[in-house]
Structure 1
Amino acid sequence: MLRIDLVMMEHIQAQTCHARRGALKNAFRYGVDYVLSDLHDTGPALMSRNRFNLWSLWDRRHGGPRGDGRGLAWFRQVLSERGFPVENAQLLLLTQPSFLWVHFNPVSFWIALLEGKPCAFVAEVNNTFGDRHCYFCAHDDFRPIGRTDRIIAEKLMHVSPFQKVAGRYVFSFDMSGGAIDIRINYENGDQGVLATLAGARRPATNASLLWAALRRPFGAARVVALIYWQAMILYLKRAPFLKTPEPPEPLISDSHTFRRHQ
């Protein structure tokens, strides 16, 4: 496995693909812009931390309850409670930044590296109903997570009105020196959805961030519009529409692969 060295702040001009399994098929692919940051260096002038800009990262939007996050301090606490050697780790956030004043992020990833290799991550999942649940993913001995490893977690939060809160997520997490390739396979019997996020790792620059704003304007508003567009397609295909249940408690759950506290 390659060592991962973060170059300042990185801009991942990625592709996301969702493919639904079962009797009713649906699939789509879109371009998305993520950044990878240790939240210590704000990077280019068009990107700011905790203040308004063309693009921005806000501590309150990540790490903890939705809208009331604590950023890196929360991730550090989550790791420490599970016995992870935080003092030797590099902690990163992979997320879609806010665009102007608009923010929505279906999934972000908190990543803990040891000797440059990913050894734990938290999938921070948000739905369009204002809820959040976080899935802590690691091996029980915190060995590096390789591209062929499968991290399994029980699905606990309602994400789509067309999928039940049942079954499991199977995470595949490949973070090499040159690219990121994440696969989330939702499995519930013969039903499910495969979601992927893949893109090259390159330094974030004012030019790349300005090009992203021109190429994919409206940022998070575009993401929400695409989610509702796909929901309308499923509705027209007569997919069963389910009521929204209460969000789960507590905020974070451990994957089946991590057994230290189970």
Structure 2
Amino acid sequence: MTGTGYDDISPGPTSRESAALYECVITHVRRTPLRHALRHRTYLWCVDVDRLPVLPRLLRPLARFDARDHFVGTAGSLRAGLDAFLAAHGIDLGGGRVVMLAHARVFGFVFNPLSVFWCHDSSGAPVCVVAEVHNTYGQRHCYLLRADEAGRTGEAVVDKSFYVSPFFAVEGRYRMRLPLPGERLTLTVHLDNADGQAFTAVVRGRRRPATVRGLLSAAARRPWSTAAVWAGIRRHGIHLLLRGLPVHPRVRSAPQKGMLP
């Protein structure tokens, strides 16, 4: 893992030298065929994929960024995995800056329902956003949101093409709003299907400096945060099963370009 000195990370998650922590509230609202909502608190990292933070040795179990947790999982670095995925779609960033929002590994475990990569070219202009979705079956899938003519990224409508919740079929469309975070973080994903707006996920957070003190504070409030996210999703799934919500069987899909099957 390479990066700058951990306590010397400069402020502002959009600068090349910076990293930040976001204290987040995640809400899910399911509207059909029955209404159900969940609310979960956690913290996320916002980092430059080429300048990952380096922790003091004793704190490294609290945050580790592994290439195996994203894209094909076999690339030598996060950047190499992302570049291979983009190349499969005809995109070359020319070494431009990439900002990632994700959970880090905590005590060797990580689960990222959604990781987001904001991609820029060598001049700093936005090129695309990659929204990487992970399910609890150990699979992942990337949605590519290209910049429009005005150079904006982070807002798009894409067809759903990946099995996530067992209570929704692989059909419908996502409306994603994923603006690059600043002092505030606000991400929104809507799922629209034949029944209308079936599901909404929102992530809201506030930036905190990525310092030793900041990490220790976040970890003390949300111990083993990534495992807690995974367990919370499982717990709510059991609740929905007990309420009689029907399950859609998981169908093996064809591999995505640049991704594992």
TM range (shorter): 0.7 to 0.9
Identity fraction in percent: 27
Give the one of 158, 165, 169 matched to 1:160.
165
Provide the rounded CA distance (Å) in 2 between the counterparts of 1:47 and 1:138: 39
What SS class does the counterpart of residue 53 from structure 1 fall into? helix
Instruction: Specify whether residues 113 and 178 from structure 1 end up closer, same or farther in structure 2 by C-alpha distance, changes over 3 A only.
Output: farther
Q: Which residue of 2 aligns with 1:183?
A: 188
d(CA) in 1 for partners of 2:208, 2:126: 18
- Aligned counterpart, 2:51: 41
Task: Write 1 or 2 for the structure with the bigger share of strand.
Answer: 1
Which runs of no fewer than 5 residues in structure 1 stay unpaired?
A: 254-262
Contact 1:37 1:94 in 2 (8 A): yes
Q: SS of the residue aligned with 1:75?
A: helix
Cross-structure match for 1:74? 81
Match of 2:231 in 1: 225
Per-residue CA distance 1:123-170 (angstroms, 9 max, x = gap): 111111121111111135471226xxx401111111011111100111
Return the offset for 1:6.
5.2
Task: Give, as a single letter, the amino acid of the residue that structure 2 aligns with 1:43.
Answer: P
- Structure-2 change in CA distance of 1:25 and 1:121 (3 Å): same
Q: Which residue of 1 aligns with 2:9?
A: none
Query: Match for 1:56 among 59, 64, 67?
Result: 64
1:31 aligned to 38, 41, 45, which one? Answer: 41
Q: The residue matched to 2:163 in structure 1 has which SS?
A: coil
Q: How many residue pairs get matched?
A: 244
Higher mean alpha-carbon deviation, 159-168 vs 212-221, is at 212-221
| Counterpart contact for 1:154–1:169, Cα < 8 Å | yes
Per-residue deviation, 1:47: 8.4
Partner secondary structure for residue 234 of structure 1: helix
Letter of the aligned partner of 2:162 in structure 1? Answer: M
State the 1:80 CA deviation. 4.6
CA apart distance, 1:117: 6.3
Confirm or deny: 8 A CA contact 1:61 1:68 kept in the other structure: no
Instruction: Measure how far apart 1:77 and its partner are.
Output: 3.5
CA RMSD for the aligned pairs?
A: 2.7
Alignment of 1:86-235 (within 5 A): 86-87=93-94, 89-113=96-120, 118-141=126-149, 143-145=151-153, 150-190=155-195, 192-235=198-241
Query: What TM-score, normalized to structure 1?
Result: 0.82
- Give the direction of change, closer, same or farther, for the CA distance of 1:107–1:190 in structure 2 (3 Å limit): same
Whole-Å Cα distance in 1 between the matches of residues 56 and 38 of structure 2?
30
Bigger drift between 110-119 and 174-183 goes to 110-119
On the 8 A contact 1:21/1:190 being kept in 2, the answer is: no
1:20 pairs, out of 30, 37, 47, with 30
Assess if the C-alpha contact under 8 Å between 1:52 and 1:101 holds in 2: no
Displacement after TM superposition at 1:211 (Å): 1.5
Partners of 1:189 and 1:117 in 2: CA distance: 37
Distance 1:233 1:171, change over 3 A: same
Range with bigger deviation, 153-162 or 133-142: 133-142
2:243 matched residue in structure 1: 237
TM score, norm. by length of structure 2: 0.83
Q: Which amino acid aligns with 1:154?
A: D
Offset at residue 83 of structure 1 (A): 5.3
